Amino acid sequence: MDEPYIGPALGQNRKKNLLVGLISLLVLLVVFLAGLKLQAQRNTKEDKQILKADRQMVDGLAGHCSAFPGARGMYEMAMRMHFQNKDLAAKAGLARELENLCRMDLTSVIETRKGLLAAGTANPEDIKALALALLASRQKDAALEVLARRPDDVFCKWLSGWLRSLPPPS
């Protein structure tokens, strides 16, 4: 049996509705693709900023104490783009601590903490303090050795991994 005749007006409305739906889908697809492109551009910009901050941290670890505030500022700026990013917050905090320690004479702190570590009485805070003092004293390799003593500690694992991933000094 043939389909019942619906009339010319109903058929034309159906074609119009189909055309409007297709155009709407096309607009949504274009908006979606534009959003993806903008997000990719933003991510590239953020990655470049974080790499620049990492390079400044490398300069600071090489003894240029004036690089730490710049690195901290860049990490904090990147944190504004990535709310709740614990990694960036930790890097900014580390830059702040190293900035404070960089110009101090840390010989007594290092010797005291090394003594505790050798005696086996060092707690996690002693290891953290020793690692930061060594970093501020331009002794990255010694700091990595200290951090390796506590491979299960979250902070030690994060800091040693990050220190190894830093770009080489320029």
pLDDT digits (tens, 9 = 90+) for 20-36: 999 999 999 999 999 99
**pLDDT of 89 higher than 70:** yes
Mean pLDDT of 110-116: 91
Mean pLDDT of 158-166: 92
Q: CA 65, CA 43: separation in Å to the nearest integer?
A: 29
Distance between terminal CA atoms of the chain? 83
Give domain limits for the chain: 104-170
Q: CA 31, CA 147: separation in Å to the nearest integer?
A: 48
**pLDDT of 53 higher than 90:** yes
- The confidence band for 4, taking pLDDT boundaries of 50, 70 and 90, is low
- The confidence band for 83, taking pLDDT boundaries of 50, 70 and 90, is low
Mean pLDDT of 49-55: 92
Q: Which residues contact 156 (CB under 8 A, 6 or more apart)?
A: 124, 127, 128, 131, 147, 148, 149, 150
- Mapping DSSP to helix (H, G, I), strand (E, B) and coil, where does residue 11 land? helix
**pLDDT of 128 higher than 60:** yes
Mean pLDDT of 121-146: 91
Q: What pLDDT does 8 receive?
A: 59
Question: What's the half-sphere exposure (Cβ side, CA atoms, 13 Å) at 108?
Answer: 2
**pLDDT of 1 higher than 60:** no
CB 159 within 8 A of CB 94: yes
Distance of CA 113 to the CA centre of its chain: 30
One-letter identity of residue 165: S
**pLDDT of 84 higher than 90:** no
* Joined tokens for residue 58: 């490398």
- Mapping DSSP to helix (H, G, I), strand (E, B) and coil, where does residue 91 land? helix
- The confidence band for 16, taking pLDDT boundaries of 50, 70 and 90, is confident
